[in-house]
Amino acid sequence: MNKTDVLQLLQDHRNERGIKNWHELYPDSPFSSLGMGLTVLRKLAKQVGKDHDLAQALWDSDVYEMKVMSVLVDDPKAISREQVEQQVEDIDFGMMVHVYSACGAPVAKTPFIDEVAVDWARSDDEVRKRCAYGFVYELSKKNTKSAPDDAYYEAILDHIEQTHEQENNCVLLSMGAALMGIGKRSLPLNQRALKIAQDIGPIPVESGKTQCEPMDVSKHLTSEYILGKLKA
């Protein structure tokens, strides 16, 4: 497929209700939308397949779904540090931060993402910090030989403990996700993440017109299911 083919594929699945919601939520956005949700886009991305060159072409678009497809079809083995440093400057809209950094995103599977997460967590840029903790959550799910060790996560916890009082809700929600991921890795990390989560407290969630419950990381980390797995 080429860029024109992907745009046509997206046009064939456009959702008028979603387009209306986009205009209501992001009236001043420089990006247009075809109204599709992430679930549909993931299915379409599987049809397209992994293609780094195509991903680069799709990124150069003012259509939201084209940007998302660019992220989803990229090849982690071909993504460079230079690329992510350029792209992070252009993802502060819609759900792009979440798409870019979490839910199995290819960027989070690059071999250097542990270093990026540390660097960006210490950045003054809000978007980089939000991505950093998304990357940490993705890393926390890895149990391969190349996965970071507990010392890596202890250092992340140190940083969250020292900085969370300075952050806004958007960064705190990303921190909360990282705490949940780290807290599933081992009982000692769980107890450390729990203490920090208790200091932070429930984190308000704003989701457009939808009323959402606050993110309660402490409740998650003390669930019978999680503790049962860690003590097994």
Residue 93's pLDDT is what? 86
Rounded alpha-carbon distances, angstroms, from residue 69 to 1, 80, 81: 12, 18, 20
Q: Residues 178, 198: one domain?
A: yes
Q: Integer distance in angstroms from the first to the last C-alpha of the chain? A: 48
Residue 225's CB is within 10 A of a number of other CB atoms, namely 8
Residue 25 domain boundaries: 1-75
Question: Region 39-66: what's the mean pLDDT?
Answer: 96
Number of domain units in the chain: 2
What percentage of the chain reaches a pLDDT higher than 90?
A: 86
Residue 5's pLDDT is what? 97
pTM: 0.93
DSSP state of 47: H
Q: Is the pLDDT of residue 36 over 70?
A: yes
**148-181 pLDDT tens trace:** 999 999 999 999 999 999 999 999 999 999 999 9
Residue 171's pLDDT is what? 96
Q: Is the pLDDT of residue 125 over 90?
A: yes
Q: Residues 16, 87: one domain?
A: no
Q: Is the pLDDT of residue 76 over 70?
A: yes
Question: Region 90-107: what's the mean pLDDT?
Answer: 90
Q: Please state, rounded to an integer, the average pLDDT across all residues of the chain.
A: 94
Residue 208's pLDDT is what? 63
Residue at a domain's end among 48, 75, 102: 75
Q: Residues 121, 207: one domain?
A: yes
Q: Residues 110, 207: one domain?
A: yes
